Amino acid sequence: MLHSGTHPTYTALRSLLEPLLKFNHVPLHILSYVPIFQCLTGHNLSKLGQQIHAHMILRGLEPNAFLAAKMVAMYGSSGDLFSAMTVFDKINYPTVILYNSIIRACARYGYYEKAIGIYFRMHSLGLKGDHFTFPNVLKSCADLSSVWMGKCVHGQSLRIGFEFDMYVGTSLIDMYVKCGDSTDARKLFDKMTMRDISSWNALIAGNMKDGEISVAEDLFRTMPCRNIISWTAMISGYNQNGLADQAFCVFEEMLKKDSNVKPNWVTIMSVLPACAHSAALERGRRIHDFASSIGLDSNVCVQTALVAMYAKCGSLVDAFRCFEGIPRSERSLVSWNTMITAYASHGCGMECLWTFEDMIRAGIKPDTITFTGLFSGCSHSGLVDVGLKYFNCMNTVYSVKPRVEHYACIVDLLGRAGRLVEAKELVDRMPIQAGPSIWGALLAACRSHHNLEIAEIAARMLFVLEPENSGNYVLLSNMYAEAGLWKEVDNLRALLKCQGMKKSPGCSWVEVNGKAHLFIGGDTSHPQAKEIYMLLDMLLEALPGEDKGSWLHT
DNA sequence: CTAGGGTTAG
């Protein structure tokens, strides 16, 4: 926005607007408006643009295709797609520039189908796309992961002669990569005469997405030069593939060896998950300190990623401290969701509810993730009726339609509280097809509350829905064993054997003073195993209430 | 105009 009278845009705009204001009664030529809209583009000034637009209408001025392109770009750049479309639709003889502006606006704000649709209309009118058109159309195909559409556009770009354009080439690589067709992306890359650093980066990201880590590493090593995006692609690629240590090492290597690159907020966000899943709290703190040292700790995305990192490392205190550090007015939907989820995973149901209510007060509209977080928080704290209350009004009050994952949470909520009959009834009358997550939640609840009758129903559904998941057979078999139904146990064991399955053992580990301690389900190989099991027994004794069984299994 | 991106139950 224009904050002060000294802002360059402001001064430029004033000199442009002067004739408009001075000669209010003199009809100006429409082309006088061109520099005005150009000036407003990219500064989030669509409100001001609208006023000038109104000024035109009052004077009875209709934009031609050239001016309309500038107006569409102005509205489009600030996300006002509605106004952009209105201007666009009124033009009878559109030009390529006008099409480019509207396609770009649609592609930038996620209206991918619209962007592609408009492109095809343009094509059918005999207008040829140029090197501004194709990258935006291809980006839309990429984000919809529609190879079919992408190949069609690819063909048209070849016919028009953009085979050797670097931007179009890179966009094509990106499109094939995002559609999961890395082979075609590679072919294109090998054929390119001029390669940009972005072409390499797109291919690296693609191979990382496919789990082709060594191919990505080769590309990274052999590329002529690397920028911050190349490094970040490697870091986030390792994290996507669960290779946290490699991600962290590459991050450190980048800091040590490549002094030409400067880490930015995306880099920090990409490296943080490397400490968010094991007991790597110290590593997380180091990255936090580093982010602060280069002034990136005031970025909302970084702050939100820090909240998630601390929560996953087990430090709810630090997570909350980071959340509190985000100015209220800057907290995004994702920030609130992250904090709610953090409380939920730490079993703080009440705090989940307070945070949710606070979010509503702050004027942020909840989404589907907000509610999964909220319900799982209620579920872990036994806040059954509050959870149900929110579930029943999520659509009417907050206009978020319940989805499968919400039903799964509610089944879990009822199930943990032992209200299995209600849970089963909910599954029976839910409007969506119940999948493995639903039946799985029900089966787990039956296990901890020893309800064999409903467990059998859920298990049979799961045997059909995911026959390869051995856990379901084992769970039911254990329940039969508990009830002393040895014949049924044998039947299930036989079934399991003839399908050639083995339950993969459960395992966990902790890091103490930098040394990892590994535990496999039922194993006693740890040097202090005896003491550990004794302590576990003591903990179980000390636990309050009826629900001890389920603690062991969650 | 192209490349890297924070939140999802158990």
> pLDDT tens-digit profile of A432-443?
999 999 999 999
Å: A440 CA to B10 C1': 9
The confidence score (pLDDT) of residue A1 equals 45
Pairing of strands A515-520, A507-512: antiparallel
Per-residue pLDDT reduced to its tens digit, A451-498:
999 999 999 999 999 888 888 888 888 888 888 889 988 888 877 777
The distance (Å) linking the CA of A94 with the C1' of B5 is 36
Interacting residues of A245 by C-beta distance below 8 A, sequence separation 6+: A274
The separation, in Å, between residue A426 CA and nucleotide B4 C1' comes to: 43
Question: Residue A148, exposed/middle/buried by CB under 10 A (0-12, 13-18, 19+)?
Answer: exposed
Tell me the C-alpha to C-alpha distance, in Å, between residue A287 and each of A222, A262, A302, A443, A515. 28, 15, 11, 41, 20
A361 CB burial (10 A radius; 0-12, 13-18, 19+): exposed
Give 3-state DSSP helix, strand, coil % of chain A, rounded to 5. 70, 0, 30
Contact between residue A470 and residue A464 where contact means Cβ atoms under 8 Å apart? no
- Integer distance in angstroms from CA A322 to C1' B4? 24
Counting other chains too, the contacts that A221-226 makes at CB distance below 8 Å and 24 or more residues apart are: A223/A197, A224/A197, A225/A197, A226/A197, A226/A258, A226/A261
Nearest nucleotide by C1' from A368 CA?
A: B8
Residue A326's nearest nucleotide, by CA–C1', is B6
* Cβ atoms within 10 Å of A139's Cβ, excluding its own: 20
| Positions in chain B where some atom is under 7 Å from a protein CB | 1-10
Both tokens of A368, joined, read 């589907």
Distance CA A182, CA A276 (A): 29
A303: the nucleotide nearest its CA (via C1') is B6
Low-confidence ranges of chain A (pLDDT < 50): 1-4, 544-554
Which residues touch A350 (CB under 8 Å, ≥6 apart)?
A381, A383
A42 sits in the region (left: phi over 0; alpha: psi -120 to 50; else beta) called left
Tokens of residue A378, six digits: 């209620």
As a rounded value in angstroms, the CA-to-C1' distance for A397 and B6 is 27
Rg of chain A, C-alpha, whole Å: 29
| Residue at shortest CA–C1' distance from B8 | A369
Q: Where do the domains of chain A lie, and which CATH numbers do they carry?
A: 226-326 (1.25.40), 331-400 (no CATH), 403-504 (1.25.40), 507-553 (no CATH)
Q: CA–C1' span, A169 to B2, in Å?
A: 8
Question: Which nucleotide lies nearest residue A309, CA to C1'?
Answer: B6
